Each structure stands twice: as structure tokens, then as C-alpha cells.
Chain A
Amino acid sequence: MAEERPAKWGLVVDLDRCTGCNACIVACALENNVPFVGEDEVAYGRALYWIRTQRYWEGEYPEVTPTFQPVMCQQCGNAPCEPVCPVYASVHSEEEQINLAVYNRCVGTRYCANNCPYFARVFNWFDYELPEPMRSYLNPDVTVRRRGVMEKCTFCVQRIVRGRQKARAEGRELRDGEVQPACVQACPAEALVFGDLSDPESRVSQLARSQRRYHLLEALGTLPRVTYLKGVGNHGG
């Protein structure tokens, strides 16, 4: 079998399509065993979201327009979270070209979270126990994190690995769109598109070349793998 070409996974967020429905957040939490922390803790600002919708209001009341911007880990090519971790719990994977969090190496200095300009990282402040029937929902492919550990979006790396293994077993290359993170799968407006950026013909590559593209805080030089699309003058999204 031919040597596999290392993929460069990327995501496109089309803000002109986003309705701010938050389906991505729910799907992400279920896929990745992200615990529910309870109302009080959420109100205190300790919700564990791997993806969140930033909502801004434009204009003065009553002529206000909401704008939505789903923000997840940007999978920086030059990630500020990686060099500051003293125990290599925040690392770059060779095969997927994304940042991974190694939960059982993390000692919880929270330095990576401070140094992340996108605030994509969340911390397990307590052990969050799931009530009994809910435990059956846990995804066996994803580690359940205990207290004192940092976590974040992994582009659903477990799905990427599964997809690659399946393709390898069938002796073929991965097809474009075959692997989808939970958020992309759940998005009803198809605002999120996932794929291999190293393949210039893939849908995500074509979209990422769009004239509407921008990256979050591009000036910091973090080389994000997430591209946002936003036309001018179009409300919403």
C-alpha cells in the first residue's frame, strides 16, 4: 500500500450561514464527553465548552443586530499553548497537524489557557459526576477527564483516526468529507465545513481560498487552521 500523505486538517466557518442555533455546542459536548457543570457554575463562567458561540450586538437599541461567531480551538500551526506547558501535555501531532491535549500528562498549571489568545481551553474545576442513566451516553472513544485537567477541541481526533483506519483497511485514500467532527455533522445551515487543507481540490480548501476569508487575531502569527468567511453588509451570522 502506498505511503499515506500526512493530512492538514482544517475547518471553515461561514458566518454568513451561521444562525447561532448552538447545535454545534450540544453535539460537541455529547461526542467528547464534555461534562455538564450545572447552572451555578455556568453562571460563574466555568462552563466547559469546546466550541462556543460568541454573540455580539451591533447598533443601538432598538435597532440592534446580533452577530454570531462560533469559536473553537483554532488548531494553530504556531500554537502559543504548546511551548509554555512544562509537561508536554499540549503537543502538536505529526499525523493530523493539529494540537492535542494529553489529559493524563496534564498537571493543571493552566498556563496554556492564559496564553491562548482565543480562550479555547477549559479547565476541570471539579470532578463532574454524571447521573446514572446519563453515564450510558459516554463515548467510549474519548477519555473522561478528571478534576485539575485542561481540555479543548481536538477536531474530534477520534473520528479522524477511525476514518483513516477504515480507509486503510479498505486499501483506499480518505474521501473528502468522509471524516466530520460532531459540530460539522450537526450544523443544520452547513456553516461549518471540515476537510484536508493539503488537498487543493477539497471543499474546505476551495472555501478557505474565498475572498470572504479571515483568521481570528491573524496579526499574532499563530497560523490558525480555522478560516472564517464573512461578506460585507450581510446581516446576521
Chain B
Amino acid sequence: MAVEAKPLETAVPLPHAEEDPREHLMFDPRPREVMNRMVMEAMTTTSRRYWAWVIGLALVVLVCLLGAWGNMILTGMGLAGIRRPVFWGLFIVTFVFWIGISHAGTFVSAILRVFKAEFRRPFTRAAELMTTFALAAGALYPLIHLGRVWVFYWLIPYPNARWLWPNFRSPLVWDFLAITTYLLSSTIYLYLPLVPDLAMARDRTTGWRHALYRLLALGWRGTEAEWHRLRRAITIFAFAIIPVMFSVHTIVSWDFAVGVVAGWHSTIFGPYFIIGAILSGVAAVVSILFVLRSTMLHMDYFIRKEHFDALGKLLLVFSMAWAYFFFNDYLLTWYGGEEAARRILTLHATGPAAWVWYLMLICNVVIPWLTLWNRTIRRTPWAMFIITLLINVGMYAERYTIIPLTLGHQRMPFDWGVYTPRPTEISIVIGTFALFLLLYLLASRLIPLVPVWEVQEGQMAHTLRKVGKAEVPSVTELE
């Protein structure tokens, strides 16, 4: 019986393999010393433009944040636009915004680390820094919005002359505890993977930098035992910090959800806030990565189109999840049938400030859904920069809708009121944005912004192997 034999067709490359695997950072290794030098150079190079930004931002922090806040402390909260019935305004909106941004670092770093997503490697530290600085900016607001900030320490549980503990039934005390825990643990989590890089910097610097890094590197020598302990510590922290992250924004949402305020009293608020926080946080990471890539030396080697691509996919998923929870919030309220809550939700979409509500939907849903499915757009950094900035505008509008716009139309129509922010509030908000950017700018020249050892570790695990004539990307399982 004759066998019909076809000649083997030449191997057809898979569609996704059209590009050269060397476009991926993991398959484009450089010698370790070269890479170390690149990171050191990025860290130590400052341009005239950099210093102009630092000085400008420092002035903004001084005048807009400290000046306006100091003036408000001396004169009274009345300088802010809040009034009965809207007792919480821009301060709490921006507070929730910053706490939301702070979820990025943990999400990108811890969750992607736990799930071994390899694309995280070059920008975990950039994201962790965002967490710490966003918390620093956000944690100012519970102080700023206090009527009598000079007695803020009464909120802290410690044995005191007043013989009085704080009220542990108050969500504000939960807030205080959750944010302090998160700030401490995320700072440690930022510091742990930084140690080997600080030691690398210590060995390549002189002068004050050398002294600083010698202190911070804790005598790291890179022995096998040290690596072993570091890995274990990082793994423990990566797992432990995830529940802390989820708890923080859930507790922030309880500030609203445990109240009797119509439109706040909703059990969906916990997960709804978490999803919103991750959406805004990941979007902020993309924005920052774009700025780093286009301003810092050698960053285009570490941060590539593939990273924007991967984060863009994440953003699309989170935008859809956010839309689902948003819809749920409305569905449950409608189904619950409480007249006041229904009236508020209607007023959000039709009331005097309906444009905020539409801005939120356009920026959080329409724009990501129309753009992020497209691979070309996801791989265009400047487009991603604009989209992610818009997502954060949308998330800010979401918090604005939830807080002042909901408070303004409660159960007694006689007491309805509309709130307009005043210059003092706006100035303080701008001031904390400047504070965040200033801290980030300074840190970018003080610590290695790329976790070099993690990139090198990843590159060692990823190799191109020759199988016949084809080059096959292969990954070694670490640990």
C-alpha cells in the first residue's frame, strides 16, 4: 500500500512570535556590570530641568500646602468651601484618592510577585515608591480636615492624662490603625528588596552617597545565607501585605458604608472601593512609568512597550470589574427601594453636578473600553500616558460623586445644599500633588529606581535555546 507522504512544511512561526523575542527585557540581557552602571548613571545624572522642577515643586509645597494649611489652621476651617449639609469636601475626596493610588505598589509588586508575573521585574520599585509617597500625601488629609488639628493626638490610642481611649467603634479610629499599619508594612516591603541594590550602589560611589548607602545597606555582602534570608523575608512580606492592602481600602469604604447617610449605606462599598483603588493605582503606575521612561537615562532599556502592553491589559480588566461593581451599587440600591437613596442616585445623573458623574463614566469606562483592547494603542507609551491620566481623573470624579454630591441631598429637602470648593482647598490639594511629585523626584536620584538584581535574576532564568534552526524562548523555574 502506497504511503502518500507530504514533505514537511517549513515551521510556521506562531502569530505572537512575529516579533523578535529580544524585544523583551528578559531576553535582552546585558552584562551585569554594564547594567549596574546604567542604573547608577540614571540615579546620579541630574539636568538643569530636573533642578528647576525640584525647586518649583518645593515652592508649590511651601506656599500651596504649608502656607494655605497654616493659614487655615490659624483662621478656621471656614476657609474651605464646606458648609452644612456637606461637611466633608475636597479634603476627604483627595484622601480617598491618594489611598487608592497607594494600592498600586502592593498590587503590582506583591500580587504579581506571588503569581510570578515576570513582566513586573523592572518596575516593582517604581510602584512601591508610589505606594509609600501616596500614603504620605494621603495621610496628611485626616490631619488637614480636622477642625482642631493641634489636638490630633487625641485620636491615637495611648495611656494618657485624660484617662480616655479613642472610641474603637468609630471608623475613623479603624482608619488610623489601618493606614499606619499599611504605611509601616509597605515601607518595610519597599526597603527589603532595596538592600542588595543599596549595597551595589555603596560599592560604586564615594563621598556622602557612599556613607549613606553603607548605612542603609546594613552590611550586605551577597552571601548565599543572606540571599536565602532575604528571599524568605520578601516572600513572607509579599503574602502578608496583600490582606493588609485589601483591608485598608475596605476600611476607608466603611467610613461611608457604616453611616446612615443615604447613598453611602451599602454593603457593596468594600469591594467597590478596592476595585476602584486598584484601577486608579495601576493607571498611576503607567503614568509614572511613562514619565520615568522619557526623562531618566537608560530607562528605555528597562521599561519597554511590553510593560505598557501588559499593564494595559490589566487596566482593561479592572475597568470592566469597576463597571460591574458600579452597576451593582445602583442595582442593589434600586432593588432596596429606599426613596432617599434612589433620589440621590437619580440626582447624580440629572442634578446640578451631573457632569461630574458623566465625566466619571466616560473616563473610567468609555475611554478604556474603546482604546485598551487595541494592541497598537497599548504599545504606544504616550497614548497610554493620556489614557491613564484620564482614568485617574475619572476616579477622582467618582470619589467626588460619592462624597460631597451625596451629602448634599439627604432625606430632608429643606437642608439640601450644593458645595463648591474654595481656593484654600484647591490650593492644598495641588500642594499634596506637588508633595508627591517632589518626594518621587528626590527619591529617583537617591535610590536605584530599577531593582537591578531582580532584573538580572529574571534574565538568568530566561534564555533563548536553539532547537534546530529555530530559537525557542525558555524559562527556568526559580526556587
* Interface of A toward B, CB cutoff 8 Å: 41, 44-46, 54-56, 69, 71, 80, 83-88, 105-111, 113-115, 117-119, 122-127, 147-150, 217, 220, 222
Picked from A56, A69, A86, A125, the residue with its CB within 8 Å of the CB of B76 is A125
Taking a contact as CB atoms under 8 Å apart, the answer to whether A105 and B411 are in contact is: no
User: Known: A85-B167, A86-B167, A148-B77. Is A115-B261 also a contact (CB below 8 A)?
Assistant: yes
Kindly supply a per-residue 1/0 record for chain B positions 61-86, scoring 1 wherever the CB is within 8 Å of any chain A CB and 0 otherwise.
00000000000000111100011110
Q: Does B414 sit at the interface, judged by CB under 8 A?
A: yes
B417 to chain A, nearest CB (A): 5
Interface SS, B side:
loop
User: Known: A45-B417, A86-B173, A87-B154. Is A119-B412 also a contact (CB below 8 A)?
Assistant: yes
CB-defined contacts of A125 to chain B, threshold 8 Å: 76-78, 83
- Taken together as a complex, chains A and B put the C-alpha atoms of A214 and B412 apart, in Å, by 16
In the complex, which residue of chain A has the Cβ closest to the Cβ of B406?
A: A114
List, sorted by A's number, 11 A–B pairs whose CB atoms are closer than 8 Å: A86-B172, A87-B164, A108-B148, A111-B170, A114-B87, A114-B259, A115-B259, A123-B77, A123-B87, A124-B76, A148-B148
Q: Does B390 sit at the interface, judged by CB under 8 A?
A: no
Known: A85-B170, A222-B260. 17 other contacts (CB 8 A): A46-B84, A69-B414, A88-B166, A105-B164, A106-B147, A107-B149, A107-B151, A107-B155, A108-B147, A110-B88, A110-B147, A114-B259, A123-B84, A147-B78, A148-B146, A150-B147, A217-B411
A37 to chain B, nearest CB (A): 9
- Taken together as a complex, chains A and B put the C-alpha atoms of A118 and B155 apart, in Å, by 26
CB-defined contacts of B147 to chain A, threshold 8 Å: 106-110, 123-124, 147-150
User: Known: A80-B260, A83-B169. Is A45-B83 also a contact (CB below 8 A)?
Assistant: yes
Closest 7 CB pairs of A and B: A108-B147, A148-B147, A125-B78, A126-B76, A148-B148, A110-B87, A54-B414
- Taken together as a complex, chains A and B put the C-alpha atoms of A122 and B415 apart, in Å, by 12
Q: Does B171 sit at the interface, judged by CB under 8 A?
A: yes
Taking a contact as CB atoms under 8 Å apart, the answer to whether A83 and B88 are in contact is: no
CB-defined contacts of A117 to chain B, threshold 8 Å: 260-261, 410-412
Q: Does B145 sit at the interface, judged by CB under 8 A?
A: yes
Taking a contact as CB atoms under 8 Å apart, the answer to whether A114 and B78 are in contact is: no
In the complex, which residue of chain A has the Cβ closest to the Cβ of B153?
A: A107
Taking a contact as CB atoms under 8 Å apart, the answer to whether B261 and A114 are in contact is: yes
- Taken together as a complex, chains A and B put the C-alpha atoms of A84 and B261 apart, in Å, by 12
- Taken together as a complex, chains A and B put the C-alpha atoms of A127 and B76 apart, in Å, by 7
In the complex, which residue of chain B has the Cβ closest to the Cβ of A110?
A: B87
CB-defined contacts of A56 to chain B, threshold 8 Å: 413-414
Interface centre among A54, A111, A217 (most CB of B within 10 A): A111
CB-defined contacts of A122 to chain B, threshold 8 Å: 84
CB-defined contacts of A109 to chain B, threshold 8 Å: 145-147, 172
A42 to chain B, nearest CB (A): 11
CB-defined contacts of A83 to chain B, threshold 8 Å: 167, 169-170
Taking a contact as CB atoms under 8 Å apart, the answer to whether A46 and B83 are in contact is: yes
* Count of B interface residues, CB-CB < 8 Å: 41
CB-defined contacts of B283 to chain A, threshold 8 Å: none
Picked from B77, B88, B176, B412, the residue with its CB within 8 Å of the CB of A114 is B88
A89 to chain B, nearest CB (A): 9
Taking a contact as CB atoms under 8 Å apart, the answer to whether A84 and B171 are in contact is: yes
- Taken together as a complex, chains A and B put the C-alpha atoms of A87 and B145 apart, in Å, by 15
In the complex, which residue of chain A has the Cβ closest to the Cβ of B166?
A: A86
Q: Does B407 sit at the interface, judged by CB under 8 A?
A: yes
A65 to chain B, nearest CB (A): 16
In the complex, which residue of chain B has the Cβ closest to the Cβ of A219?
A: B338
CB-defined contacts of B239 to chain A, threshold 8 Å: none
- Taken together as a complex, chains A and B put the C-alpha atoms of A127 and B74 apart, in Å, by 10
CB-defined contacts of B261 to chain A, threshold 8 Å: 114-115, 117
Taking a contact as CB atoms under 8 Å apart, the answer to whether B78 and A126 are in contact is: yes
Picked from B82, B148, B167, the residue with its CB within 8 Å of the CB of A88 is B167
CB-defined contacts of B176 to chain A, threshold 8 Å: 86
CB-defined contacts of A127 to chain B, threshold 8 Å: 76
User: Known: A87-B154, A117-B410, A149-B148. Is A111-B172 also a contact (CB below 8 A)?
Assistant: yes
CB-defined contacts of B75 to chain A, threshold 8 Å: 126
- Taken together as a complex, chains A and B put the C-alpha atoms of A106 and B77 apart, in Å, by 14
CB-defined contacts of A71 to chain B, threshold 8 Å: 412
Q: Which residues of B from 148 to 168 have beta carbons under 8 Å from A?
A: 148-149, 151-152, 154-155, 164, 166-167
Picked from B87, B145, B169, the residue with its CB within 8 Å of the CB of A113 is B87
Interface centre among B82, B146, B147 (most CB of A within 10 A): B147
Kindly supply a per-residue 1/0 record for chain B positions 283-298, scoring 1 wherever the CB is within 8 Å of any chain A CB and 0 otherwise.
0000000000000000
- Taken together as a complex, chains A and B put the C-alpha atoms of A104 and B14 apart, in Å, by 73
Taking a contact as CB atoms under 8 Å apart, the answer to whether B88 and A84 are in contact is: no
CB-defined contacts of B170 to chain A, threshold 8 Å: 83-86, 111
B22 to chain A, nearest CB (A): 56
In the complex, which residue of chain A has the Cβ closest to the Cβ of B407?
A: A114
